[in-house]
Amino acid sequence: GAAMAHGHGPGRCRCCGEEAAERGAAWALYLRIDRQRLQCLNERREGSGATVFRPWEERGDRSQFVESDDDEELLFNIPFTGSVKLKGVIVMGEDDGTHPAEMRLFRNIPHMSFDDTAKEPEQSFSLSRDPLGELEYPTKIARFSNVYHLSMHFPKNFGAETTKIFYIGLKGEWAEAHRHEVTICNYEASANPADHKLEQITPQTHFIS
């Protein structure tokens, strides 16, 4: 019989499925966002900015996106529930003028406003149009190794009046925040005296020949 083609259908190829799961797990920092305090400034529809942070597997869901309102700028304030080491970013939009053309990342400046974006970012990127969410922008990890708050500023797009973003992927590692001092219990270094008594009482066994 003819050899089976290496199909990529569901369940047919375990290796690809595992790879996809691993890939998805790498982009799971969205789970570590403090959504109660997540802000998107200049979003047209309130709360829409939060929808772009979702599972990697769901990046193709075109029903969820954020569009800017007054002009093409968008600014996200993203507080995390712990300390994050940010390694990479994906930004996915339409294959047209609404796709953001530049991204500027700031770390640990909570509640940034558009006035604050005049500051020098930790890193900025020229973006390419990425309608499928395939392009990964690697961060300078040394600058993003202890991030409890990330601000993402998208100052311009490819020429449209407004900017649209469908998905933002954040890749990296998360650690719990160490807010409380760790209490170290000192155990008594000296042994319990009762143990010694026991040894002394135990009679030596003598064999009688």
Q: Is the pLDDT score of 186 beyond 80?
A: no
* Calpha distance 36→40 (Å, rounded): 12
pLDDT of 9 strictly over 90 = no
Is 146 domain-assigned? yes
How far apart CA 151 and CA 86 sit, in angstroms, is: 12
User: Is 188 a domain residue?
Assistant: no
pLDDT above 70 for 7 = no
Domain assignment of residue 66, yes or no:
yes
Backbone angles phi, psi at 154, to 5 degrees: -110, 95
Q: What is the mean pLDDT of residues 3-14?
A: 49
Report yes or no on 64 lying in a domain.
yes
Identify whether 151 is part of a domain: yes
pLDDT above 90 for 15: no
Range of 70's domain? Answer: 22-176
102 within some domain: yes
What local confidence, expressed as pLDDT, does residue 192 receive? 55
Name the more confident of 67 and 11: 67
In the chain, the DSSP E strands lie at: 39-41, 66-67, 74-92, 102-107, 123-126, 137-138, 147-154, 164-165, 167-176
> Which residues neighbour 194 within 8 Å (Cβ) at sequence distance 6 or greater?
none
Q: Give the global pTM.
A: 0.77
| Residue 199 phi, psi (nearest 5) | -60, -40
Q: Is residue 31 part of a domain?
A: yes
What CATH code is carried by the domain that includes residue 139? 2.60.120.470
Q: Considering its fold, how many domains does the chain have in total?
A: 1
Q: Using an 8 Å Cβ cutoff, are 169 and 33 in contact?
A: no
Q: How far apart are CA 126 and CA 33, in angstroms?
A: 25
How high does pLDDT run on average in the chain? 86
**pLDDT, mean of residues 121-142:** 97
pLDDT exceeds 90 at position 183: no
pLDDT of residue 206: 56
What does the pLDDT look like over 84-104, one tens digit per residue?
999 999 999 999 999 999 999
- Interatomic CA distance for residues 91 and 56, integer angstroms: 11
71-88 pLDDT, tens digit per residue, is 999 999 999 999 999 999
Task: Note whether residue 12 is domain-resident.
Answer: no
